[in-house]
Chains A and B, each alone.
Chain A
Amino acid sequence: MRHLVCLLMIALLALIPLSALAATRIVATPGAFALAPMTDWDKIKNDNRYYSQIALTDKPANLEAAFRDAEKPNAIFGVLQLGSPRQAIHLAMGRAESNCVDFLYLDVNNDKRLTAEERVEIKKNSPFNQGNTEYQWSESVKSVACNVSYMRSNGTLLTRPVTVQFYFLRKKPLNTKTPASDKFYYYYVVNTWFYGKGRFDDGKADRDLSFAILDGNDNGLFNDFGQDYMLIDANEDSFFDMQKEIHPLVELDEERIDSRTTIQRRKLIFAWPVTMVVQPVVDAVDFVSVEPR
């Protein structure tokens, strides 16, 4: 019995450092860190983002659209809902010459007109089979920049380009000839992200590390705490690994100083960020200080 009690005690004591370790996470230390918009995904490894479905609508009455003849009868309409307040950026897409989506117009300047210049080049990829389903898919050749507005504290709008990539999928059951059983999926993902260099505490020491902020919910806002992501290049290999170096973007970080003292810090980030301010949570919050002019 005494041996059992001793064993249990050792196990319990062993749990204490483990739990302390689990509570430690890499946290930003106080300061103001400049951020730069990026669209190049070469720095990001193991991209495993979830793509968002494009919201489809009837043709808006106030939308002008200039399609090619073959595209007119096949156009379906949709919106990307980006920015703050949320803006409906219209698009039209469809199948004119192939089985999967092969044309797309995006109202990149957000003027409620789809023009010939706003036609997005689509690449048709080789179909593949899986089980009893054929998958046909296409994608935009490159990401497309569209104008998105963000409201500052004083009510004025800041307009900035947000790049978006499109993917289209058609699931075609092989055991039926009924076109109605085909399923179409229309996806997009926000490709703009922000790069910065900051000082982080990893539980052992303060380190100057590169970090990235990603739009986790594809709404064009980069300060959705709990929804967006922060990647911290902890192994300093100049890449951000979406499997190993990803953290949810949280507003309040806690840094454990010792077993009795925990310091809480707040991040201040604008929806289109140019700087990330990290400050003690008790300090007065000045959102204007992080807004681009």
Chain B
Amino acid sequence: MSRLVPLIFLLLLLSALVGVSASILPVAGTYLLAERTDMQAIRFSARASYFTIKELSRTKPAALKLDVPMIDETYYYEFRLGDAEKPRSLVIGRSDAKWANVLYFDADADNVITRDERVGVAYKYFVTDDGKLDMYISEPIEPLRVKRTYLRADKSSFDKALTLSVEIVVGYQEGAKSAEPMFLAYVAPSTWFYGEVSAGGNRVLKVAILDANKNGLFNEAEKDCLLIDENCDSVFDWDKERQLLGDDLSGLGPDGKRAKLIPAVAAWPQKLSLATKDATPDPSQLEGK
């Protein structure tokens, strides 16, 4: 009897550990995805973990032409959505305000900023660190849209509009050597894809696909991300519920057996495939029409 006690304890401990460590593994299959742009559904402990943060430059890109009225104080931000895409510029200004209140976006990527490319800006938040650092954060009233070309497996192409989230931070630091404020931009695609996958036993799990490397493609292994709302709180936790595409999903399947599934999507995802290694679908099966 005395020898049985530690054995029972060990078994209980092991079963408890297995129960804790095994994540819920969805049922293999192909699931529909829908485009969404509400970034509030994704929780970031620090926005820097998803958004690209860049200090803005006062130097105009050489190829950029401005066909707009002069702005008092002008900053520039140039970015590309992928190596094959043309660079696009944001021209950010401040005129008679503590926050960035002028914004032009070269939406057509022709390197000419025109009057009709002006975007309405709203100053949304003020954040202070007891006056040591005051930050005035503004963003476009309407999300920016970027047209991007995608290739299908058969080499045909189609265009889609990505939405872009841009936050401009103007920071004033107490005791800073320069009288000029610090200008930063937080930029990332705000388009993401949402779906529900079966967890077996008449249960579903919410899933999200995010373009983590911010190039407009959503299917890059080891770069883009799959988030699974494991705790069913209707929010995707970037820090706790994220894994890279290309990494196996492993855990206990609905039948109680440990298994591995490989998630796969197309560059502009319409479907999410969760399949075992030997049943991975042809990428063309995941594309939209």
Which residues of A pack against B, CB within 8 Å? Answer: 2, 5-6, 8-9, 12-13, 15, 53, 55-58, 60, 78-79, 81, 88, 173, 181, 183, 185, 217, 224-227, 248-254, 261-264, 280-282
Contacts and interface: CB of A to CB of B under 8 A. Distances in A.
A117 to B, nearest CB: 25
Nearest to B7: A5
B50 interface: no
A280 B202 contact: yes
Contacts of A79: 122, 141
B77 to A, nearest CB: 20
B233 interface: yes
Given A9-B5, A263-B202, A57 B126 contact: no
Contact of A264 (B99, B121, B131, B204): B204
Interface stretch (B9-17, B26-34, B177-185): B9-17
B8 A9 contact: yes
Contacts of A254: 203, 232
B165 interface: no
B41 interface: yes
B12 A12 contact: yes
B123 interface: yes
A262 B13 CA distance: 24
Given A262-B203, A264-B202, A250 B121 contact: no
Contact of B5 (A6, A60, A173): A6
A96 to B, nearest CB: 20
B141 A88 contact: yes
A55 B124 contact: yes
A225 B234 contact: yes
A250 B8 contact: no
A2 B122 contact: no
A248 B6 CA distance: 42
Contacts of B8: 9
Interface of B: 2, 5-6, 8-9, 12-13, 16, 38, 40-41, 97, 99, 101, 120-126, 128, 131, 134, 141, 201-204, 206, 232-235
B2 A2 contact: yes
Nearest to A58: B101
Nearest to B43: A226
Contacts of B125: 53
Complex A-B, nearest 5 residue pairs according to Cβ-Cβ distance, in ascending order: A226-B234, A55-B122, A225-B234, A226-B235, A56-B123
A255 to B, nearest CB: 11
A242 B2 CA distance: 52
A226 B131 CA distance: 33
A24 B9 CA distance: 26
Contacts of B9: 5, 8-9, 12
Contacts of B38: 224
Contacts of A5: 5-6, 9
Contacts of A58: 97, 101, 121
Nearest to A281: B204
Contacts of A2: 2, 5
B206 A217 contact: no
Contacts of A227: 40-41, 235
B122 A78 contact: yes
Contact of A183 (B40, B126, B235): B126
Contacts of A173: 131
A93 B8 CA distance: 71
B203 A264 contact: yes
Interface centre among B2, B8, B40, B234 (most CB of A within 10 A): B234
A281 B126 contact: no
A250 B5 contact: no
B16 A53 contact: no
A12 B13 contact: yes
B233 A281 contact: no
Contacts of A57: 101, 120-123, 141
Nearest to B137: A53
